[in-house]
Structure formats: C-alpha cells, structure tokens
Amino acid sequence: MKLIDLYRDIRSELVKINSCDEEAAAEAELILLSKRFSSYTGDTLTRESLFGVKEQCEISEKGVTSARDIIKRRIEGIPLQYILNEAWFYGLNFQVYSSKTHKTFIPRPETEIIVEESLKFIKSCKASKINALDIGTGSGCIPITIIKNSNRKILWDAIDPFLTTIPYENAKNHILEDLIRFSKVELSKYHRNENKKYNLITANLPYVPNNSNIDSVVKHEPLEAIFGGEDGLDHIRETVKLIPKILQRSDSIAIFEIDPSQLTFFNALEEIYSIEIIQDINMLDRIVLLKFKN
C-alpha cells in the first residue's frame, strides 16, 4: 500500500473517535511521523516528506498491520501518546509509557506556558548559577525543555513521589542526565533533608477536584497525577506553605499551573507575594506567578 493511501485510511478510521476531521488528520500524522513507524519507511518522516517525496513510497504488509494495530488500540480509547510511547512538548519528544503500571502524565500544551515564563525569568535572573526545583516532575518535561532552551547554567532538582524510570530515560535521550537530580519523594519529606533555596520553582501538581468528571481517555493516565483532593488544592496548598522556606527572597519566582477555580486561593496571598496570572489559549486563568514582595 502507498504511504499516502495508508495516511488517508488511518485518517478516515480516526474520524470515528475524534470530534473533527482536523483532529483525525493530526493523529494520523503523529502515527506515521512517529519513531515507532520509522522502521517501515526507512527513516523518521517529516510532514514535508509524508506529503512530498515519500508520498508514493510502498509500505510493507508488516507496516500496514502495525498501523492497523495502532488504530485498533486508539479506537479502544488508549491515548496515542501511550501507544506510541511518544509525546511532543515545546517541540521536543518525550517518552511517557513503559507498561500499564509504569507510565507518566502526558504533557499538555498549557504547561508550555510554565516553560515560557520560566525562560523569561531566567533571562532576567542575575544569579551566576540558577537553582531550580520542579515539583511533580512526571516525564521530566519541564526541566528538560527549559535547559534545552536556555544557555544559562541551571541546576535542577526534580521530585515526584510516583517517580518512574521514564524521566531518567528522557534526560538521557536529551543528554542532560548530569543537570537534573531526580528524587522519588514528595516535597514535605524531601525538604526535611535540604536547606537549599531555589531561584525558580515550577509546579504542575495534580489540581483537578476529586469529584470532577474526566474524559475517558484521561482515565488511562495515572490518577495520582490528576486529582488533588476535594478542591484540587491539597498539593498546591502544601507547596505554598513551604515556599518561604525553599524560595530565595529575591531574584526568584514560583510558577504554578492551576484550575481556574483556584484563583481565589492565590489572590488571598497578595499581602506576601506579587501575583501575576496568565491565561491559556482558551482564555482560562491557568498559570500563577508568585514573587516575594520586597
């Protein structure tokens, strides 16, 4: 079968589970451009080659069967990122799946705002060496992306009580393993052994209120990465409590991702912090920047 015909087949199958044809087209591209599919095309495809020089390339029976297997699992409701063990975040590729019990949260586009705001802060930070802490690191996508996009010296600690080997793999694949120290621990326990203060803290913690309805695809992700207690604030509250002990008084920032309903919690902190809110692409209050008022 020709590559372009396979693309059309996949796209028309995936329309069944996507809300629009554009989403089905995007997923069909992700499948054919994936590392997993590269063994059937001789090379990892680019969008340009898929719709250009490789369009008429003949795909073996094995390749077609593999694509059909991916579609079958996708139609069963499994996120494509888990089927392919590949997620894209800020233009970089991350592993997210090793087995049913060994997978990370799939990085979301709104979290890229944490990266952007961190990079802005890093540019303005006067410290010769920046100490940074990522709380709830999952795949490690936040520290890895920030290091890859900055030429400053940043030393990262990255913690997660449900740490898997996946962020180590991601750091290794991006050749950053010496710059990030991962620890399988939650913040309160970690901090007992550390006197270190940070210039930058990033926290995309579980923040969905416990009784919220979540999409059936999201149910495949680790639930401990999603739910954050009755009002979703359990972990965020605990982190904010520790901020005075772990964030430097000046030349510093803490960046949180939140549910828009949690803004009132942060507004109540304005005696101590200057607070800035960034909205996501859907105009929802999504990212909170905290800086000590001096």
Nearer Cβ to ligand SAM, position 28 or 84?
84
Residues at the site binding ligand SAM, with contacts judged by CB under 6 A: 105, 107, 111, 135-139, 141-142, 160-162, 186-187, 204-206, 224-225, 235
Nearer Cβ to ligand SAM, position 225 or 290?
225
Nearer Cβ to ligand SAM, position 205 or 247?
205
**Residue 269 CA: distances (Å) to CA of 50, 147, 225:** 51, 30, 25
Distance CA 160, CA 95 (A): 17
Burial class (CB in 10 A: 0-12, 13-18, 19+), 140: buried
Distance CA 96, CA 61 (A): 28
To ligand SAM, the closest distance from the beta carbon of 268 in angstroms equals: 22
Nearer Cβ to ligand SAM, position 13 or 157?
157
CB 166 within 8 A of CB 202: no
To ligand SAM, the closest distance from the beta carbon of 157 in angstroms equals: 12
Nearer Cβ to ligand SAM, position 10 or 205?
205
For residue 130, which of 116, 115, 147, 149 has the smallest C-alpha distance?
A: 147
Bin 251: left if φ > 0, else alpha if -120 < ψ < 50, else beta: left
To ligand SAM, the closest distance from the beta carbon of 107 in angstroms equals: 4
From first CA to last CA, the distance across the chain in angstroms is 66
Ramachandran angles phi, psi of 140, nearest 5°: 85, 10
Nearer Cβ to ligand SAM, position 41 or 170?
170
To ligand SAM, the closest distance from the beta carbon of 143 in angstroms equals: 9
To ligand SAM, the closest distance from the beta carbon of 93 in angstroms equals: 14
To ligand SAM, the closest distance from the beta carbon of 150 in angstroms equals: 18
Nearer Cβ to ligand SAM, position 197 or 237?
237
CB 260 within 8 A of CB 286: yes
To ligand SAM, the closest distance from the beta carbon of 197 in angstroms equals: 18
Q: Which residues of 96-120 are buried (b: 16+ CB within 10 A; e: fewer)?
A: bbeeeeebbbbbeebbbbbbbbbee
Tokens 């060496």, residue located: 129
